[in-house]
């Protein structure tokens, strides 16, 4: 076996490595570091498939390994982040000594709802591997897209204003967001993939409009734009489905 056949799998393992590091940061309450490593993992997740196609070395092993890595990076870590955010007194308020012996840590039972996201992600990734309908588009919200919504929460808290802080720290909002994202990952809603057979306006006007609005939202609202972009993605996909019919 030539070295090039191992390159995509090595990149996938880098995704998993980032997910493992992010898990440790998320458990200890360092949510921003967890977010950075998940984003890095998603970056590697994109390029493992890119290099697999480029080198023409796609295979079943790489497909399964990719899903296993994504379960950690885009499943376990976001679930822990949601768990931490739902906590009335998150772990990141405790000192390292407290984390070692468990003192000063108050577990809110409702926070375990956040882990539903992890379960939903794992189930979707397993279903995606055997679903032959999702070759050129998606059925249900892709796991990385749902993960980006979760990752945006600590980023908004770090840079957002008072009203966004009040919304994101509301435990019932976080519970509803967890359940909604978990549902959307399994909803029988066809969603377009950002793949272009050509670049004509006639055949891609919905995708181009979506990308243009996404850029405007990011420039104007920064991290607050991320959840709005995902909502737009679902709405534009529904619009495209109706236009095809």
The last residue of a domain, from among 188, 204, 227: 188
User: Same domain for 70 and 115?
Assistant: yes
Tell me the per-residue pLDDT of 134-161, one tens digit each, with 9 for 90 and over: 666 788 899 999 999 999 999 998 887 7
132 compared with 72, residue with greater pLDDT = 72
pLDDT band per the 50, 70, 90 thresholds, residue 97: very low
Which helix (H) or strand (E) segment is 190 a member of? strand 190-192
pLDDT band per the 50, 70, 90 thresholds, residue 51: low
pLDDT of residue 92: 45
Q: What is the DSSP string of 79-124?
A: HHHHHHHHSSS-GGGS-HHHHHH-TT----GGGGGGGHHHHHHHHH
CATH of the domain at 103: 1.20.120.1760
User: Same domain for 128 and 10?
Assistant: yes
Range of 64's domain? 3-188
Q: To the nearest whole number, what is the mean pLDDT of the chain? A: 83
pLDDT of residue 52: 64
User: Same domain for 213 and 237?
Assistant: yes
- Given a contact cutoff of 8 angstroms between Cβ atoms, the answer to whether 10 and 62 are in contact is no
The last residue of a domain, from among 188, 215, 233: 188
Q: Is the pLDDT of residue 242 over 90?
A: no
pLDDT of residue 136: 63
Averaging pLDDT over each range in 12-26, 46-60, 131-145, which range is the top one? 12-26
User: Same domain for 184 and 200?
Assistant: no
User: Same domain for 125 and 25?
Assistant: yes
User: Same domain for 88 and 28?
Assistant: yes
| Segment 64-80 mean pLDDT | 91
pLDDT of residue 88: 66
Q: Which two tokens stand for residue 83?
A: 């768990």
171 compared with 4, residue with greater pLDDT = 171
Q: How many CA atoms lie within 13 A of 117 on its CB side?
A: 37
Count of the separate structural domains present in the chain: 2
User: Same domain for 69 and 142?
Assistant: yes
The last residue of a domain, from among 188, 219, 237: 188
Averaging pLDDT over each range in 59-63, 160-164, 190-194, which range is the top one? 190-194
Q: Is the pLDDT of residue 102 over 70?
A: no
pLDDT of residue 93: 47
């Amino acid at each position: 076996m030539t070295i090039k056949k191992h390159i995509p799998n090595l990149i996938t393992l880098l995704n998993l490595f980032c997910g493992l590091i992010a898990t440790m940061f998320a458990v200890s309450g360092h949510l921003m570091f967890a977010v950075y490593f998940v984003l890095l993992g998603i970056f590697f997740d994109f390029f493992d498939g890119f290099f697999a196609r480029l080198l023409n070395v796609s295979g079943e092993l790489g497909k399964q390994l990719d899903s296993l890595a994504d379960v950690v990076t885009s499943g376990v870590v976001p679930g822990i982040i949601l768990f931490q955010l739902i906590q009335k007194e998150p772990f990141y308020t405790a000192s390292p000594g407290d984390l070692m012996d468990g003192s000063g840590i108050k577990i809110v039972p409702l926070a375990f709802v956040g882990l539903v996201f992890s379960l939903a992600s794992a189930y979707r990734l397993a279903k995606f591997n055997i679903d032959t309908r999702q070759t050129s588009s998606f059925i249900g919200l892709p796991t990385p897209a749902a993960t980006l919504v979760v990752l945006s929460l600590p980023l908004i808290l770090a840079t957002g204003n008072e009203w966004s802080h009040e919304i994101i720290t509301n435990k019932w909002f976080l519970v509803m967001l967890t359940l909604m994202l978990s549902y959307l990952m399994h909803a029988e809603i066809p969603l377009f993939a950002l793949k272009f057979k050509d670049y004509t306006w006639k055949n891609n006007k919905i995708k181009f409009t979506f990308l243009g609005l996404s850029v405007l939202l990011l420039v104007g609202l920064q991290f607050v734009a991320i959840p709005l972009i995902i909502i737009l993605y679902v709405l534009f996909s529904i619009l495209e489905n109706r236009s095809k019919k």
